Amino acid sequence: MFSLGPGFMYRETRSAWVRLRTLILLRWLAIAGQIVAIVVAEHVFAVTLPLGLCLLAVAASVAANLISVFVFPENKRLSETEAMLTLLFDISQLAFLLFLTGGLNNPFALLILAPVTISATALQWRTTVVLGLTAIGLVTLMSVWSLPLRSDAGNLLMMPPIFGFGFWLAIVTGIVFLGLYSWRVASEIHSMADALFATQMALAREQKLTDLGGVVAAAAHELGTPLATIKLVSAELIEELADFPDLRDDAALIRDQADRCRDILRSMGRAGKDDLHLHQAPLTAVIREAAEPHAGRGKAIHYDMSSADPFSDADDRPPNIHRQPEIIHGVRNLVQNAVDFAQSAVWVEAEWTADRITLRIMDDGPGFPPQLIGRIGDPFVRGRRAEPDRGQRPEYEGMGLGLFIAKTLLERSGATLSFANGTAEFPVAPGAALRRGAIVEVVWPRDRIARATNDRLGENRPIAI
């Protein structure tokens, strides 16, 4: 599988995404709203307020913003602790201002949801829990103790107790619900972004290997003729220099080194696929190529590839398909997953018709966890792993990322994937392992990956290096 160090760092440090300037801007908006609310309540609705203390609370926010603007650079990004303290200050300042202006009798008490929602969206869940409990505690205190709201005529402005309790319950419910909802949605967005980032890295790696193989194939092709010429001339020199042993040995050395160069290029050129004639290959060859890295890992891989319509002369031979990196890497990941969990054997079956191409990968392992089978293909699907599983796959954390990458890449090539566990036992031979583990079926429309019979490849072109 492939290393995801940068991806995990990207995921674990998402609190550093919060820019201080963003919170400063939001605070300026809150300050403007608080000032407008105080002025309108005092002069339009004739509500008596402790104006000095209210302005002191607003001034605290203004001072905090000015300090942040002049002390920290514009590109400052907050750590988890810094963001938590910033939002704690905002909750405390708002709670104090609400305490001065009637507590829960003030309809603006609903704004205490904002800092908790921001935390749930951008910070870790522990920080959100701390901020949520703080907000609930302050709202509860305000429901019991707060300065009353009075009009200029001395009339007390307050809700009936039952409405006050209902408002408190609505705020607490809103804090819990919006916090959980925002955290859940943000986590899924971040997980999907990380998984897509890992998928792009895997595809880029496969494409780079394919391109490198193309360079090697081109070199082997271009150097084949001069090496053959060198070998031919050196062989003639060996015959003509029979009376000159020293010169004859030099000619023999030239021939041997030419053979060595040929063998090196041949071994390196096995991975070369950029020759236009190798842009496509038979389905069976592509599948075997994808599974080849896992053939020597102690599990038998059985291949069964045949036409699903044996009575049709047009479909009895395997179709030629385009050698897309998405297909190779996706199938390789599926085979790897099967080999990892198989007890002794993996079956790779392929069949084709005039309309579609189907690939099935099965193993004799324990199968997919029943409680997760509906979520297979989602990134970062974690499940509690037993100790035998940890010993079997010590290098993996069981996050479902490999299957997500395979599913994403194969769907990009036009495939549809389905996952299931074996419900019946299909013995392939007496005493052989039974196909009762995980089953992955990949189905392509044939015209999406198969090369048309009249599709001309054109001439090979030099590779620009």
How confident is the model at residue 452, as a pLDDT?
65
Tracing tokens 């307020």 back to the chain, one arrives at 49
3-state DSSP assignment of residue 321: strand
Q: Where are the beta strands (DSSP E) in 300-340?
A: 300-307, 320-322
- Which residues neighbour 14 within 8 Å (Cβ) at sequence distance 6 or greater? 122, 190
Give the containing element (helix H, strand E) for 118.
helix 113-122
Per-residue model confidence (pLDDT) at position 231: 81
Contact at 8 Å (CB) between 405 and 193? no
54-63: Cβ within 8 A, 24+ apart: 54/97, 54/100, 54/101, 57/93, 57/96, 57/97, 57/100, 58/31, 58/34, 58/97, 60/93, 61/27, 61/30, 61/31, 61/34, 61/90, 61/93, 62/31
Q: State the CB neighbour count (10 A cutoff) for residue 288.
A: 16
Summarize pLDDT for 265-322 with one digit per residue, the tens.
766 655 444 455 557 788 988 999 889 888 888 899 999 888 776 555 555 788 888 8
Please write the tens of the pLDDT for every residue from 425-448.
Answer: 544 444 444 667 889 999 999 988
Distance CA 146, CA 163 (A): 16
Is the confidence at residue 170, as pLDDT, over 60? yes
User: Which of 411, 267, 214, 398 lies closest to 329, judged by CA?
Assistant: 411
Q: 0.75 exceeded by the pTM?
A: no
In this prediction, residue 398 has a pLDDT band, given cuts at 50, 70 and 90, of very low
Read off the pLDDT of residues 188-204 as tens digits, 9 standing for 90 and up.
777 767 666 666 676 67
> Rounded distance, CA 224 to CA 23, Å?
65
Instruction: Judge contact between 346 and 439, C-beta under 8 A.
Output: no
Q: What residues have CB less than 8 Å from 151, skipping those under 6 apart?
A: 45, 46, 47, 48, 157
What would the mean pLDDT of 37-60 be, rounded to a whole number?
92
pLDDT: which is higher, 357 or 316: 357
Spatial separation of the C-alpha atoms in residues 40 and 44, rounded to whole Å: 5
pLDDT of residue 198: 65
Phi/psi at 399 (5° precision): -100, 0
pLDDT at residue number 2: 34
Residue 47 backbone phi and psi in degrees, to 5: -100, 135
Quick one: pLDDT band at residue 394, thresholds 50, 70, 90? very low
- Residue 447's identity, in one-letter code, is D
More confident residue, 210 or 107: 107
SS3 helix, strand, coil % of the chain, rounded to 5? 60, 10, 25
